[in-house]
Amino acid sequence: MEQIISKIGALDKYKGYLSNSSDIVEFNESLKNLKTSLDEKREEKRIFKLGIVGQMKTGKSSFLNEYLFGEEILPTAATPMTAALTLIKYSDENKAEIEFYNRDDWSSIEENNKEYEKEYKKALEEAKEEAEKKGRVFNKERFKFEDADSILKGSYEIYKNFKENGLDKSSLGETKTIKISNKKNILEDLKEYVGSKGKYTPLVKMTTLYINDDRIKDYIIIDTPGTNDPIISRGQKTKEFLGKCDYIVFLSYSSQFLDNNDNAYIKEQLPSEGIRDILILASKFDNQLSQESVFEDVDGDIKAAYEEEKRKLSRKLNRWSEEFKKDENPLDLSKSELEFQSTMLYRIHKNFDNLSGIEKEIFDRLEEDYNNSTFTKELLKDLSGMPAVEKKISNILVRKEEIMKNGIKNLFDGKKDSLSKILEKIRKGFEERKFELSDVGMKDVESKINNLQGKISDLSSEIKNSVRTERENFDKKLKDEISKISNTKDRYSSLQKQSRSYEEEVDIDRGWFDSNRKSWWKIWSHTETKTVRRNETFINIQDSIEQIISFSQDAAERIERTSERLISKHVIKKAMRDGIIDLFELEDRPKVVSVIDNYIQKISIPQIQFDVNKYRDIVLSKYGSSYSQERDINFIEGLHNKALLTVIEDTEKAFTDVKGKLNSVLEEIERNIVNELKEGIEGDLKNLKDQLENQKESIRTTELGIGEVDVCLKMM
């Protein structure tokens, strides 16, 4: 297996003989990454590397702060765009190394920013025109461009902050060392580099923290920005370090536990990098316990809710595990560790007698939701999952020598599978070319060229039909989903009114009455205090917020499912293939499919963005207390209904906006893919015709290429 590394570049001379030379490029890159990872894992006396992985906003850095330091030491990103890859290493001296983006990274950010600004300007003009059509005054300041591609939006944010902070490009490509007075001052000492408003934050690609802490003498922690990192170059850097990790702690947000993004990352990225050992943390578990659908079925017993939710998430992990086995994935999820973790509950446990504002708010809500439970410090500690997680990681570190010993073998096994698949594709390409160059294949060259022109008109017509069908399909599904969401609104509309009585002291004026003057003599008047019992009807504001959140989460889940079914590259590829594949002979279909797939892979598919957290603010911004006054009931009900209607409106807008973008993508496909197919197929056929004169030599070259691939396969 190790000999295969010597084959970097060995297949380059055959690129001209394959219709898809990108397979050879991919093969070379995979071999280079393998060599880098092997060199890392073979370092004498190398240190165990623990990777902290998960999507943005799953609480990775917050977890590390509590697990490792017990306080906020590590920077947590204010936005996904300001996150940076962070390495934590032991050192006698507290310091930090700040790696800035290089010039290639920055060129990409600038180009993406230009594209964002172009799309922003277009969307702004469209919004202005729409307002004018409806006779409304257009307010540019209130315009929000929420549909931009995440990569473009990320680059825009970085570039914007770069300009606002008055920076220039002189620091690009540099690595800066900063002394830290002590580890508790990390955030203060690095605020200009990792803070949300730090002057140099827009330029930071990676941070390495050297900390004088004996607990990390024997291992290195790699805190990743997120599996869904919108900054491509930073994501590539993360992937590079992922291959160097020995063990992965993977955080998955409990409320969206092991969603499709998590599944794809674990399934595709980790095994190829030799990762076989992972600890999965269902993070922010307190949010899961705070859902009405969870606590309303357990009669106020938080232990029962905790155990039930653990069972649910465990079953989901088991389902994914079975899927992995069906696909013969080398990562056996059934052997993965699973724990349930809440940094917030752990903080409440620690600060039980002196809670901060947010800690008290969450604790009060738990006590209200689980009114048949007695919350103690020890119970909160257990519910946080932190002791169990600490124990699991301690056991991991005990086994680190064994894990590292198996690391090279696992890396080879992971790369063997992916490299073999690439080589088989290359070999198949050579075999197809050899057949085309044979006497049998050459006889068809002229007729294929003659027949191709006749197919182009048919091709154009069929693609138009496919595009029209996809538009109609999406439009129908769009209306169905909006209708389904609207129909569920009534389930979340009713707010329960509650009653309470209370006593109130009031002042009453007393005095002598003059019948002639019909008035009280003030000189004789006096005031008495009387206790009055009053009854009041009120609404629990938390009830409103929970229903709003539940409704928005329901809408978000429907949006996600619809997105997965209708607007993926896979769906578009299938539609295009099914629409035109019958126009071509069997032997030509692989080429046609390849051209379609390669073209569609390059396009940007719009994503539906839906923020489920903003709707609670409609109520909270107008009424921040826990309970309404009786006079405000109608007002609260109005706010509640407004929030639900806003969810529906935003759902419609989310679907409509992505529909417009999807239509633009489909129009682009309709305009360009015919030419792509024509150029690709005619190009291949022309090459065959040109090689007709030196047929034997070309066949010999393809046979040499096949022989070289077979040599590589034997080395695996």
pLDDT tens digits, residue range 324-351?
A: 888 777 788 888 888 999 999 999 999 9
CA separation for the pair 558, 567 (Å, rounded)? 13
Q: What is the DSSP pairing of strand 247-253 with strand 85-90?
A: unpaired
Tens of pLDDT, residues 98-141: 999 888 888 888 888 888 888 888 888 888 888 877 777 778 77
CA separation for the pair 284, 301 (Å, rounded)? 19
Q: Which is more confidently placed, 232 or 329?
A: 329
Residue 622 scores a pLDDT above 70: no
Residue 367 scores a pLDDT above 50: yes
Which amino acid, residue 40? Answer: E
Residue 691 scores a pLDDT above 60: no
pLDDT at 504 (0 to 100): 66
Read off the pLDDT of each residue in 399-418 and give the average, rounded to a whole number: 80
Q: Are 541 and 636 in contact (CB under 8 A)?
A: yes
pLDDT at 266 (0 to 100): 83
Q: Which alpha helices (H) appear in 501-586, and where do they start and end?
A: 541-566, 569-580
Residue with the two structure tokens 């056991």: 395
> 184: burial class by Cβ within 10 Å (0-12, 13-18, 19+)?
middle
* Percentage of the chain modeled with pLDDT above 90: 9
Work out the number of other CB atoms within 10 angstroms of the CB of residue 539.
23
Residue 582 scores a pLDDT above 80: no
Work out the number of other CB atoms within 10 angstroms of the CB of residue 247.
22
CA separation for the pair 106, 98 (Å, rounded)? 16
pLDDT at 383 (0 to 100): 93
Residue 93 backbone phi and psi in degrees, to 5: -110, 130
Residue 447 scores a pLDDT above 70: no
CA separation for the pair 381, 378 (Å, rounded)? 5
Read off the pLDDT of each residue in 450-475 and give the average, rounded to a whole number: 73
Tens of pLDDT, residues 244-301: 788 889 999 998 898 888 888 888 777 777 788 789 999 999 888 888 888 888 888 9
pLDDT at 108 (0 to 100): 80
Residue 317 scores a pLDDT above 70: yes
How would residue 240 be classed by pLDDT, with cut points 50, 70 and 90?
low
Helices (H) and strands (E) in the chain, counts: 24, 11
Which region holds residue 216: left if phi is over 0, alpha if psi is between -120 and 50, else beta? Answer: alpha
How would residue 689 be classed by pLDDT, with cut points 50, 70 and 90?
low
pLDDT at 129 (0 to 100): 81
* Structure tokens, 66: 């509590």
Q: Are 360 and 347 in contact (CB under 8 A)?
A: no
Q: Are 219 and 48 in contact (CB under 8 A)?
A: yes
pLDDT at 30 (0 to 100): 79
pLDDT at 281 (0 to 100): 93
pLDDT at 78 (0 to 100): 44
Residue 507 scores a pLDDT above 80: no
Tens of pLDDT, residues 131-141: 877 777 778 77
User: CA 212 → CA 68, 88, 182, 217, 224, distances in Å?
Assistant: 13, 10, 8, 9, 21
Residue 521 scores a pLDDT above 50: no
Tens of pLDDT, residues 392-404: 988 888 888 888 8
Angle CA 439–586–597, to nearest 5? 115
3-state SS record for 575-604: HHHHHHHHHCCHHHHHHHHHHHHHHHHHCC
Task: Please state, rounded to an integer, the average pLDDT across all residues of the chain.
Answer: 79
Give me the residues paired with residue 697 across strands: none
* Percentage of the chain modeled with pLDDT above 70: 81
* Structure tokens, 57: 């906003």
Residue 235 scores a pLDDT above 60: no
pLDDT at 520 (0 to 100): 47
pLDDT at 279 (0 to 100): 92
pLDDT at 331 (0 to 100): 80
pLDDT at 79 (0 to 100): 45
CA separation for the pair 163, 152 (Å, rounded)? 16
Residue 381 scores a pLDDT above 90: yes
Which amino acid, residue 541? Answer: I
pLDDT at 388 (0 to 100): 92
Q: Which is more confidently placed, 678 or 419?
A: 419
Of how many residues is the chain composed? 716
CA separation for the pair 192, 667 (Å, rounded)? 45
Which of 207, 210, 142 lies closest to 182, judged by CA? 210
Residue 418 scores a pLDDT above 60: yes
Residue 683 CB partners (closer than 8 Å, separation 6+) = none
Tens of pLDDT, residues 674-683: 777 777 666 6
User: CA 433 → CA 69, 478, 712, distances in Å?
Assistant: 60, 45, 19
Residue 445 scores a pLDDT above 60: no
CA separation for the pair 154, 197 (Å, rounded)? 16
Tens of pLDDT, residues 153-174: 778 888 888 898 899 899 899 9
CA separation for the pair 538, 552 (Å, rounded)? 24
Q: Are 116 and 144 in contact (CB under 8 A)?
A: no
Q: Which is more confidently placed, 586 or 468?
A: 468
User: Strand, helix or coil at 504?
Assistant: strand
Q: What is the DSSP pairing of strand 85-90 with strand 204-211?
A: parallel
Work out the number of other CB atoms within 10 angstroms of the CB of residue 217.
11
Read off the pLDDT of each residue in 552-574 and give the average, rounded to a whole number: 74
Q: What is the DSSP pairing of strand 175-179 with strand 95-100?
A: antiparallel
- E strands, 73-114, where? 85-90, 95-100
Work out the number of other CB atoms within 10 angstroms of the CB of residue 353.
6
What's the N-to-C CA distance of the chain in angstroms? 5
> 560: burial class by Cβ within 10 Å (0-12, 13-18, 19+)?
middle
